[in-house]
Every structure is written in structure tokens, then in C-alpha cells.
Amino acid sequence: MNENDKKLLILNLEDSEPDSELIEARLAEEGLDVSIVRVENEREFISALEETGFDLILADYSLPSFDGLSALKIGLDKRPEIPFIFVSGAIGEDSAVDLLKSGATDFVLKNRISRLVPAVKRALEAARDRAERKRLESEKEQLIFQLQKALANVRKLTGLLPICMHCKKIRDDKGYWNQLESYISEHSEAMFSHGLCPECMKKHYP
């Protein structure tokens, strides 16, 4: 499934409604079916994260009552799997590098909005790859757990076993002689059922 197959739900931290509409229009122009929830402050941002499953976060860097770096920290804490892209007109190169080091997925300057759609597509693809790797890793861990559990239930007979050449009893490590069936049952997970081989059938039941 690619970006065009499903509606993308985007959380947009933006105090300017026209800027948010511009972002939505730009994404739509490139064929992305999006639904944007715009929030302006910390309370609305946290509430939206806790109540709705978003595919992407787009955030301005500088807002009157909230800042993008704080939003990034909250996003990473509450929903680290959601890509976080800064879309702002107030990010210098040094600040942008610091934001990426802090965990932001990408940044796009508002005066270079043409970079937005490629950045969104890269972020969503990377998020899908991470989710798939996480799923495969979880399946691998579950398989390892099941194998370890199975191995814990398997007991193997090893070493030299003294066995009587006539009655076939086995001597244990304490010097006691045990019936073959009893010894094997005690030292392994094997279970016995009794029958008659052809030779014994002829010998004992002619």
C-alpha cells in the first residue's frame, strides 16, 4: 500500500490557519489524500496525541505559547513511532541539525515548501520499514522463546550406560539396577507402549 491508497491523518502544530491550509493544499496537489488536525498549543497537542492515531506530525518551530522542540520531546515520549517533521520559516542550519539529532525526522522551510511532499513520503516509508522490522523482531523473539521452552522440556540420555547382557537392566549412577523402561522414562520424555515383535510372537505364541 502506498501513500495514495489510504487517507493520511496528520497532526499539524501550527498557529497560522492559512499556513496549515497551504500545507494541506500542497499535499493534495501531489496526490496525497490527507486529513489534517490543526492544534496551536501544548494542551491541544497532547490531547490529540493521546486520543487519535496519527500517521505523521508536522510542526512549526516557533509558536506564541509553545515551541517545536518541546513538542518534539512530547511526541517522542508519547508516540515515538510517528514521524515528526518541522515545517517552519524560522529554522537556521544549526538549529535544524540540533533538531535532527534530537529525534526529528526531517525539516522543511516554508519558503521551500516544494520539499514537503518528498520529505513526507520518505518519513512514511521509513516508518513502515521500522514497523516491519519491529514485527519481524517480535516474531523472532517469540520463536526463540518457544524453542527455549521446548528445549527445556527435552532431556537427553548421554554417556556410557552399563546394561546387563542377559536381563537388559541398566545400572544407575547410584549402583542400582533398573528396568530398561523405568530408567529411560525417568531420564527422558520418552513413553513406552508394549507389543510383540515377530520373533517373540513365534517363540511364545506358536
* pLDDT digits 0-9 by tens, 131-183: 999 999 999 998 888 877 766 655 555 667 788 887 888 888 788 898 877 87
- The pLDDT value recorded for residue 159 is 66
Task: State residue 102's pLDDT score.
Answer: 94
Q: How confident is the model over 88-137, as pLDDT tens digits?
A: 987 777 888 899 999 999 999 999 999 999 999 999 999 999 999 999 99
Q: Residue 19 — pLDDT band, cuts 50, 70, 90?
A: very high
Instruction: Supply the pLDDT for residue 36.
Output: 96
- The pLDDT confidence band at residue 184, using thresholds 50, 70 and 90, is confident
What is the predicted pLDDT for the residue at 3? 47
CA distance 1 to 201: 67
Kindly report the number of other CB atoms within 10 A of residue 45's CB atom. 22
| pLDDT for res 176 | 87
In sequence order, the 6+-apart residues with CB closer than 8 A to the CB of 92 are: none
pTM: 0.69
What structural domains and CATH numbers belong to the chain? 3-135 (3.40.50.2300), 153-206 (no CATH)
Give 158 or 20, the one with higher predicted confidence: 20
Q: Which pLDDT tens digit goes with each residue over 49-80?
A: 998 899 999 999 989 889 899 999 999 999 99
